[in-house]
Structure 1
């Protein structure tokens, strides 16, 4: 019996360069022995649910799009009792997750890589009742992720996020919150924070590759404190650029779970997509949740 594959392409993502090679990619998948179902849609979650309602099983689900598209696939599949293997052909503006996990080259190259690659376990994040594949973040520049016009993202890539984020500089206000992980309790005023499983965040912040393991059951947590002086601001910039985090201005630790209690409800982004805030947020690492072919 042939193996079954569901291939979902987001036509609104990034520069949509995949459209020029879509037939070649489908041929690669079919020649590898897959019975292929193709769906071109921006409604990723609905497409997966509909396909699964019509067929009891897929051996592999592949999506092409940006980080938000990948989030849609992951969020839908992680709640299933049986998880098919997944593949990802990045075609977004920034592609943080793809860059982190080593998915490089043309769409055709990555399609071949999926057909010949090896399975790799992935941790997935739970954010209250939602999910994220690589980052949950708040604070300065967070709104840039979902306010940047798609046309600008398509033309300028991650530079678009920087340009949109610069508008926030004059209006940055710290987020007062309490964070609990394990036996530790910390409180502070933070201008930005992220719970992540990636070496790249928003195309602007990079983490040391030696610190990030995609299936170790741990998230890397970075909290940038409100700078009080220009010296503090300089320390923040140097810390981020050198990946050596000065505890005076940046709190950095690893955790499998944490609870966040902000004084006011603030917006978050999950994999670059808007998520509503709450005064009680539980974030947990779902260890070895899915299996990606790379």
Structure 2
């Protein structure tokens, strides 16, 4: 999943793709690098970010979604707002990537149920301006799994089918540093819960701290891509369905390596596991198969 930020204040690219034409060309470049899916977002979720008026988010996102779909791209919309999700799906998006897991907008679940779009429910404890204060866990792996299960129960109650759901442990969201690592180390446990799993580690703070210089200064976002690709390889080997990344080429290579590694472990080294494209109205068969094969 390649990231297309249509924002002026993203932590990772600082507004390089804020213009619609630039965002569309960026998406096309990510497809050329091997992205299977493009995630278009119009509101930054970096720590401390303020919310964007809904009219502005719509103006940023919809033209990019429409133009990328017209080019044949498989597109997801990164939003916590039901109205943005509904209009993006109407323009061809096939997946709603909601970092709040439906908690930010009570209408989101009904929109997802009504459209039949695939839906990423991420672990979330609050908007960007307050999330760091919620980095308190008894056992981060158990707590995240339990809270995601609660989100799934709420989605089911609203009519969302299991076949639509993808889970995301929410790396960096209410997880400022060390609490991210146990989630990655125990990723197979989350995969074992039966839903496809999306991993979004790309360029995040905990990788910046890991790659800090001799004086302790965290590596800047663009210097975290090698570490991101390493996480991609490990996540794919652990059975993740997708990784959400800012730079695609290295992670696409990492997925191929992990897929061949897994093939060799089960004696099918000639297989091509790991390359599964998202289809409209994702089905349990397709998404679970992708998760089992370690697809991106």
Fold in common (TM above 0.5):
no
| Structure with more helix by fraction | 2
- Classify the TM-score, shorter chain: under 0.3
| Structure with more strand by fraction | 1
Taking structure 2 as the reference length, the TM-score comes to 0.24
Taking structure 1 as the reference length, the TM-score comes to 0.25
Q: Which has the higher contact order (CA 8 A, sep 6+)?
A: 1
Report which of the two structures shows the higher radius of gyration computed on alpha carbons.
1
